[in-house]
Structure 1
Amino acid sequence: MSHGITEGNSFAFTTGAYGNRPTFVLTRRRVDDQHEITLYELVPEDIATARQERFDRAQKSVKITVCELSETIIGDHTPSELPGADDTAYDWDGWSGIRIATLRGGAFNEVSFLIESTFRELDLDPEIVCTGDPASVSLTEAAGVRLSIAFRAMKPMRRRDRLRAIAKGVDQMSLGECYYWHAKARSPNSPGGCKALRVLLADHI
């Protein structure tokens, strides 16, 4: 498998590790008169705790933030009731949210390009989380993985041209490449994963 950028925007959305259950939530809020957008990964509580402990043992600078499921969603809903979910009423008892990253300002504006592209593949209206009132959307594993590597890479960046390069570069990646970078970026044993992705896509160290 190539780990560079491939041609074309199309990518397949396949069944994830938990079947068709949504495993990511994207939420836009207004905080201190500014819009911000946060991506959460949804996992069983024991898995979230185990991942948090692995990072703590590794004593890396990156820490895992585990949230109550209700904290990840605008309104009194479950992930099954949000736009983007299928019609199955999954049982969410014992599940938590892991906060991937929060983007605001220029980063929010630039990641909107990738959100729009990803939502088109899912037949979702991107305006749900890009404009209007605060809202949450459930995402499939594949869509969440694609957005997660962009959110992680863009989080510390400020230059608009480099932020834009990250969004466009991730948009052009194959699904296999997204999973590759997702694995590197979320591993406590690979602290340079996000840095390597920023170098690859935006020549940013």
Structure 2
Amino acid sequence: MSQGIAEGNSFAFTTGAYGNRPTFVLTRDRVDDQHEITLYELAPRDIATARRERFERVQKAVSVSVRELEEAIIGDRSPSELPGAEDAAYDWDDWCAIRIATLRGGAFNEVSFLIESTFRELSIDPETVCTGDPASVSLPEAAGVRLSIAFRAMKPMRRRDRLREVAKGIDQMSLGECYYWHAKARSPSSPSGTKALRVLLADHI
């Protein structure tokens, strides 16, 4: 285990940067008769804009897709009104959604294992987004961070066995390790962070 991961494990990730406000939304939709699932990170508009501009300056090959909240959420509801959100009416004015990745087909099927495991810890019914009609669920920061590294790592992969290895490997990670890989994957100065995670978990470049 690297020093960075060991240091990450020393922190108590009990609340996120914005307290208990949900900072991720997971949306299941149906497009062209195919089910897909998309993970979004929620952020104040100025923070999202600054991140997109930073990537445009440093990492030209990667773009940051920013959406309005109503484009990321199924139904006319705010993140506070979705399953998974606590009973707190946060102000969502000037907040938006940053698309992490969309998974379809085999990747959708294999990430469902990790979604089910993550949702059990949150006492959320995973069938809300794994089966049935299109729906959205709000997630706290820690759960969103775990899923975000999975979505980023699995997005370009096709082999079901390797997709499964990534999902299982991330499920077994400590929260400190998840934050470590999350920081590497979302940094414009670390373009190979997600590739390194795929190699580590599934010997996939």
CA contact (8 A) 1:25 1:39 kept: yes
Displacement of 1:40 in angstroms is 0.1
Displacement of 1:154 in angstroms is 0.1
Aligned residue pairs, count? 200
| SS of the residue 1:42 aligns to | strand
Amino acid at match of 2:188: P
| SS of the residue 1:112 aligns to | helix
**Normalised TM-score (structure 2):** 0.94
Stretch of structure 1 that moved more, 52-61 or 116-125: 52-61
Stretch of structure 1 that moved more, 51-60 or 142-151: 51-60
Structure 1 unaligned regions, length at least 5: 6-11
Structure 1 equivalent of residue 107 of structure 2:
107
Q: Say whether 1:135 aligns with 2:102.
A: no
Amino acid at match of 1:27: T
CA contact (8 A) 1:13 1:143 kept: no
Let me know the Cα RMSD of the aligned residues. 1.7
Structure 2 equivalent of residue 157 of structure 1:
157
**Normalised TM-score (structure 1):** 0.94
Q: How do 1:14-53 residues align onto structure 2 when only pairs under 5 Å count?
A: 14-53=14-53
Structure 2 unaligned regions, length at least 5: 6-11
Q: Say whether 1:97 aligns with 2:111.
A: no
CA contact (8 A) 1:3 1:180 kept: no
Distance 1:59 1:89 in 2: 36
Q: How do 1:113-132 residues align onto structure 2 when only pairs under 5 Å count?
A: 113-132=113-132
Structure 1 equivalent of residue 145 of structure 2:
145
CA contact (8 A) 2:59 2:189 kept: no
Distance 2:75 2:61 in 1: 32
Moved over 4 A (4+): 1-5
| Identity of matched residues, % | 84
CA contact (8 A) 2:59 2:191 kept: no
Deviations 1:106-153 (A, max 9, x none): 000000000000000000000000000000000000000000000000
Q: How do 1:74-85 residues align onto structure 2 when only pairs under 5 Å count?
A: 74-85=74-85
| SS of the residue 1:180 aligns to | helix
